Amino acid sequence: MATITGFIEKIKFRNEENGYTVLIATDQHDGDEVVMVGNFAYVGEGDMIQATGRLTEHPIYGEQLQVESYEIKTPEDTLSMERYLGSGAIKGIGAALAARIVRHFKADTFRIMEEEPERLSEVKGISEKMAMAIAEQVEEKKDMRQAMMFLQNYGISLNLAVKIYQEYGPKLYGILKENPYRLADDIPGVGFKMADEIAGKVGIFTDSDYRVKAGMLYTLLQAVGNGHTYLPLNELLKEASELLKVAPSAMDKHLMDMQMEKRLVVKNTPEGQIVYSSQYYYLELNTARMLHDLNIRGGIPEMEIKSRLLKVEQQESIQLDGLQEQAVMEAVNSGLLIITGGPGTGKTTTINTIIRYFEMEGMEILLAAPTGRAAKRMTEATGCEARTIHRLLELVPAPAATARDIPGAPGGKGGPSGMAGMHFERNEENPLDADVIIIDEMSMVDIHLMHALLRAVNVGTRLILVGDVDQLPSVGPGNVLRDMIDSQCFNMVKLTRIFRQAAQSDIIVNAHRINEGQPVDLAKRSNDFLFIRRENPDAIISAMVTLIQKKLPGYVKAQPYDIQVMTPMRKGALGVERLNQILQSFLNPPDKTKTEKESGGTIYRVGDKVMQIRNNYQMEWEIVNRYGIPIETGSGIFNGDMGIIREINDYAELLTVEFDEGKRVEYSFKQLEELELAYAITIHKSQGSEYPAVIIPMHSGPRMLMTRNLIYTAVTRARTCVCLVGLPEVFAAMAGNSMEQKRYTGLRQRIEELYALEEEE
């Protein structure tokens, strides 16, 4: 065993989850550099360390000390003190100032810093304010080190321990012993289960008030993950009881307390009581109020609109049908308008006519959609720039304390996950500068994004919402478009006529047949809607590989990577996870020229097609020109964004993905859990996208997944060709299964309540 005392010169590598660190220290006795390897709770460059361990010889890096125990020491001799203070460990003290401090106080330097910090101002160049700032840093480093050691006793990772210390400081000891469930409320990354584990180690009882309240809120939060904004009281009590292992009666008494604490809102409905976490109730209520305020009528005479519309039709060489014409008329005279309809019913023509009409009036028009792919499609269809809603609202890092405690605020406690530290620049104080705002693919917009959008729209600005209400609802909580339509409080035009050109497409005709519950003739010889019968999963996969590699690229004039396999399930023989491994082996097999990285059981290889699987609002991207010079930068990569791995750098531990529009993003190897292979994706993840061809395996699966609106959504993602591969009876069962997963959302009720109040007044 060897013991070495020295200064930490450089931290070469550190895993913030488990503390595994490789550092270089300078031995204080002979000045030699020593590489130390081990698990360190909290160390920083400039610290003086005394480490004990075994000296080993690494084949590449040479001699290393495998550290078994260590201690951070306070330097005792004046030379060590001067070196520590001048190392950069304390901000504001460089080598020259460190020398003056030690020369003045000698061996008493650290006692002065800890016990009489005001005396530091005796040294030339240090004001009283600076003296106190230096003392605070010395104390904080000592406090933080102690906190790291304390939190590790409870199985808390170092990365999380730093967040806890930054949130609570020295108060963390009292909080952990009294109410560790506060961590789940206050700190991103700490859920109820982690807080509950800590509480068990601290010795908090199973029926503790803190535990029961935290468990009820956690149950509501889990429901949000499934798209709900509230739960019926009976369901909440049942699910929370199973989670907490306490009787439902033990929770009844907390309902009133949590309402008084403004943490829950309980509403009476004809079906019984329902329970919201407060932020989701106010998200819905404020969304309803803003929609109500925008919903005003104009007074432009019908003949005047028709006269101008005729000019647009003549200029564009188009002729609108009655419903399209009605949509334009409503757009001109409505503060808020919903346009809905299936594929081929003329939504794009209607939007384009509305745009041209308002352009002729000299109005400022903004276009947006929920995803990058949907915005790109909108741009191509209209010839006008469309942005994602996030870019429209100017998502940026938030200044300190912005929106932290505002229920439902982006980045606040009710905001979407991943938005901590971010906010939208556009809001009621800095609204969007436009006369008309048109949002496409509205079925994808959840309650968070709708609330943020409405905050940035001035009353008097026309807001036109376009979408297909029969598609799958948003991935995030809420059912905004359906709730708005079902309330019957807003002007809505539903386009139903399939136009002649669209009627020649079996994709469009069959999509409507599926949606209306009518049979589809799978035996028909079609140019764009093909059914290939295969009996078992392996035969289905073999047919899909042949289609992607040989049959479809030439037929639809696209690369194999542009052809998308979509499946209802994640697990199973034809689930996303298995399909991606198989398709990767055919479409991007191992190659000596292609770097690869294994992470979490997945091999990522240069050239792989990948998808971002959660919103990351802080992730920075850049678009570079052909010379490699950045021409545009920004932040935010979102759930469902797809790209190609362009580079894997083992030395820097970085993987570079190029997304749509040429956005390049660098992922550290620790962030690879945010990516998954995307040769096959779930149908849910396809929302808002369009592909030259889609391939859909048709084999047995859970009835709750194999639904009509799922297959309808999948079919409508294809631009040129749909290939269904498998069993006809499975397709027929899906098309006949009109069951939709129930979402508990209350936006419709909040809207109806506002209009009912207005009528009473």
What are the two backbone dihedrals, phi and then psi, of residue 214, each rounded to the nearest 5 degrees?
-65, -40
Give the pairing type, strands 422-424 and 395-397: antiparallel
Provide the H-helix boundaries in 497-567: 500-503, 506-515, 537-546, 552-556
Distances (CA, A) of 605 to 623, 651, 667: 22, 16, 14
Provide the H-helix boundaries in 547-698: 552-556, 576-587
Separation CA 252–CA 519 (nearest Å): 50
Closest CA to 144 of 163, 125, 130: 163
DSSP 77-129: SHHHHHHHHTTTSSTT--HHHHHHHHHHHGGGHHHHHHH-GGGGGGSTT--HH
The H or E element that residue 223 is part of is helix 209-225
Two tokens, residue 605: 């290889």
- One-letter amino acid for residue 616 of the chain: N
The position carrying tokens 């503060």 is: 335
Separation CA 758–CA 752 (nearest Å): 10
Q: Longest C-alpha distance within the chain, in Å?
A: 95
Two tokens, residue 6: 């020295």
Q: Taking the C-alpha atoms of 349, 352, 357 and 358 in order, what is their torsion angle to the nearest 10 degrees?
A: 150
Closest CA to 428 of 450, 458, 451, 407: 458
The position carrying tokens 């149908």 is: 683
Residue 344 assigned as binding residue:
yes
Burial 571-606 (b: 16+ CB within 10 A, else e): ebbbbbebbbebbbebbbeeeeeebbbeeeebebbb
- One-letter amino acid for residue 517 of the chain: G
DSSP 13-45: EE-TTT-EEEEEEEETTT--EEEEEEE-SS--T
Two tokens, residue 631: 């021409």
Tell me the angle at which helices 728-736 and 708-715 cross, rounded to the nearest 10 degrees: 110
- One-letter amino acid for residue 539 of the chain: A
Residue 106 assigned as binding residue:
no
Residue 346 assigned as binding residue:
yes
Contact 15, 22 (CB under 8 A): no
The position carrying tokens 């959504």 is: 713
Identify the three-state secondary structure at position 629.
coil
Contact 693, 564 (CB under 8 A): yes
Tell me the angle at which helices 537-546 and 576-587 cross, rounded to the nearest 10 degrees: 40
Burial 393-425 (b: 16+ CB within 10 A, else e): bbbeebeeeebbebbbbbbbbbbbbbbbebbbe
Two tokens, residue 138: 């010395």
Binding-site annotation, residues:
344-348
Question: What residues form the annotated binding site for ATP?
Answer: 344-348
